[in-house]
Structure 1
Amino acid sequence: MKMLIGAAVTAATLLVGTEAAATNYTLWIHGRNGATTKPGNYNDFSYWGPSTASAGVNKKAVNWNGTQRIGSENYRIRNALDCFCTGNNSCYIAVHSAGDLQIGYALSLYGTSVRPVTNATPNANGECGKVSDGTRAGWNIKWVAVASGAGGGSELADHGDWAMSEPLVSDLVTTTARSMYNHNATANVEFLMFAGSKGTLYSGILPGQDDEAVSYHSTGGVSGSSGGSYCNPGDWFCGGTLNLLKNACSDGRAKWSFHSVYLRDDGESYNHYANGNWGGIVSKVREYMAQYAY
């Protein structure tokens, strides 16, 4: 009887120890950036703002070369997900602009693949060591919060208004971005879209409401093989209204699966740019992660 009791206590202790080892992380995936951050360095928040800002539990900056093609740099996003989102660990994900393409690409093409369980201790290249032979299908991701997502591309890339010498710009062409992967396949991870509309500089190029870089058709996760003209309620000069949550736009076009408009900038208060100080629409995602990613 004593041996049975001892075994039960040992088993319970092991179970508690396993649960205690579970850790949540908040990963921040940036967009186009001129290669100003160091890929693989999870502590460099210079793209976003001061690293002292509250931005979710155990925050990590997932840095990649933001001038290069999505496919060629996506391994860096997968390295981060393997580091912090496997085994007993889970992640909240925040992305900005082309970071939307990066996480969407990773989840669509690799979100149900067999991933290594790692020790969450990265080396200089941003890779973590495997834990024995442990593997699992996909990653433990609670949600993705998207600041001004470029998953649907931008007409600024279509018209050559960005430096066309950057390989990434070719991926941001609206038809290319929308055909790059199946945007409906998110491994059942929810995408919460934060859409800014303080745009004036490129209003003649970007259709509908925009934040000076990306239009509502992209930042709102609106489906289809090309963009469209969507605005805030009451704007009569648009093709339709970008409705909140998972509701289809007023012209009937649906959102991609698992995509919801969490914030629509009805007051036209937030532009596209973080400006190295958690600015623009990024400020609202930071507030959200600070409150709910724990």
Structure 2
Amino acid sequence: MRAIRSFCALCLFLASSLAAAANYTLWINGRTGGGAIGNYSDFNYWGPSTVAAGVNKKAVDWDGRNSIATQNGKVRDALDCFCTGTNWCYIVTHSAGDLMMGYTLANYGGSQRLKKNASPATGGVCGNSDGSSQLGWNIKWVRAASGAAGGSELSDAGSWTTSEPLVQDLKTSTARAMYNHNTTRNVWFYMYAAARGTAYSALLPGQDDEVVAYHSTGGVSGSSGSSCCNPGDWFCNDLTFGTAANQGGRAKWGWHSVVFRDDVENYNHYAGGSWGGIVGVVRSAVVNTAL
């Protein structure tokens, strides 16, 4: 009888543990920010919060102005909150959010993290769940809309406010040397490259979305930018799908795969507060996969 009671208690414990497990979709903004830091319900940067954007969606807001290093704690707080213990996360980034997430995994993804209870207090910090820790975070994948982990020539040219710390981080040589982009802790970065560039296209090599060129949005490796394009451009090497090296032989970073290339130049860089541009393409993919 005692054995039966023990077995039943174990079953109840396992059932309660499984019931507590949850998946979350974290959206990490890029330059300029726009949401209230620590308020995981503020989607002001992206668009109306009523729009579907993955299971248990959370806005991971940072100021989008200061350096990646000084703002990174805000992202780690969110990952600790929702991506430890029995909980798992899908991550979506936009623009400089890609640089932020890559930096986070490379520098902190191998550290011990206290398991949290997914119940954030004011400021976005969660309490400990059981006092135990784990190595890194539980992350299923990262989807990067117009990822700027390779930097932007707009920073190189001083097209933005040069006194802004984030602009200094976004210089192509600086962004590419900031951390080992191949170190993702075996987390896949799925890249979405937009090509509807206009005003600043002369400053950006190859295809671009008006802010970031294909060499960055496509996860192309190297210590500097390069010229990558859609098929059909005779004067520029093609950005290839998947993990394959690009035309001309330049490889992508490890664990980076191009899943969307804007061959018909329909999408620009900007969400526009309405889930627009390349962000809208990623959101549609997330709705169908972040379950």
AA in 2 matched with 1:105: Y
AA in 2 matched with 1:178: R
* CA distance in 1: counterparts of 2:129 and 2:202, whole angstroms: 53
Q: Does 2:247 correspond to 1:258?
A: no
Count of matched residue positions in the alignment of Structure 1 and Structure 2: 291
Structure 2, unpaired ranges of 5+:
none
What TM-score does the superposition give when structure 2 sets the normalisation length? 0.99
AA in 2 matched with 1:73: Q
Show the counterpart of 1:10. Answer: 9
Correspondence for 1:227 among 225, 228, 236: 225
* CA distance in 1: counterparts of 2:183 and 2:214, whole angstroms: 21
Show the counterpart of 2:239. Answer: 242
User: How far off is 1:14 after superposition?
Assistant: 1.1
Structure 1 runs, 4 residues or longer, greater than 2 Å off: none
Show the counterpart of 1:19. Answer: 18
* CA distance in 2: counterparts of 1:210 and 1:148, whole angstroms: 9
Show the counterpart of 2:280. Answer: 283
* CA distance in 1: counterparts of 2:156 and 2:105, whole angstroms: 25
Show the counterpart of 1:56. Answer: 54
Show the counterpart of 2:28. Answer: 29
Query: Superposition pairs for residues 21-170 of structure 1, below 5 Å?
Result: 21-33=20-32, 35-170=33-168
User: How far off is 1:20 after superposition?
Assistant: 1.2
AA in 1 matched with 2:3: L
* CA distance in 2: counterparts of 1:115 and 1:25, whole angstroms: 18
User: How far off is 1:172 after superposition?
Assistant: 0.3
User: How far off is 1:260 after superposition?
Assistant: 0.2
User: How far off is 1:165 after superposition?
Assistant: 2.3
User: How far off is 1:236 after superposition?
Assistant: 0.9
AA in 2 matched with 1:164: T
| Secondary structure in structure 2 of the residue aligned to 1:281 | helix
* CA distance in 1: counterparts of 2:21 and 2:36, whole angstroms: 28
* CA distance in 2: counterparts of 1:270 and 1:121, whole angstroms: 36
Indicate the larger mover: 69-78 or 35-44.
35-44
User: How far off is 1:158 after superposition?
Assistant: 0.2
* CA distance in 2: counterparts of 1:152 and 1:7, whole angstroms: 55
- CA deviation vs aligned residue, 1:32-53 (integer Å, no higher than 9, x gap): 01x5322111111000000000
Indicate the larger mover: 36-45 or 216-225.
36-45
What TM-score does the superposition give when structure 1 sets the normalisation length? 0.98
| Secondary structure in structure 1 of the residue aligned to 2:277 | coil
User: How far off is 1:9 after superposition?
Assistant: 1.8
User: How far off is 1:166 after superposition?
Assistant: 1.3
AA in 1 matched with 2:200: Y
* CA distance in 1: counterparts of 2:230 and 2:262, whole angstroms: 8
AA in 1 matched with 2:230: N
Show the counterpart of 1:177. Answer: 175
Structure 1, unpaired ranges of 5+:
none
Give the aligned CA root-mean-square deviation in angstroms: 0.8
- CA deviation vs aligned residue, 1:252-287 (integer Å, no higher than 9, x gap): 111100000010000100000000000000001100
AA in 1 matched with 2:102: G
AA in 2 matched with 1:242: L
User: How far off is 1:8 after superposition?
Assistant: 1.3
User: How far off is 1:83 after superposition?
Assistant: 0.4
AA in 1 matched with 2:265: E
* CA distance in 2: counterparts of 1:177 and 1:155, whole angstroms: 11
Indicate the larger mover: 129-138 or 22-31.
129-138
Question: Given that residues 94 and 144 in structure 2 are in contact (C-alpha distance below 8 angstroms), is that contact kept between their aligned partners in structure 1?
Answer: yes
> Between the two proteins, what is the percent identity of the paired residues?
58
| Secondary structure in structure 2 of the residue aligned to 1:108 | helix
User: How far off is 1:237 after superposition?
Assistant: 2.1
- CA deviation vs aligned residue, 1:111-159 (integer Å, no higher than 9, x gap): 0100010111111111001123210000000000000000000000000
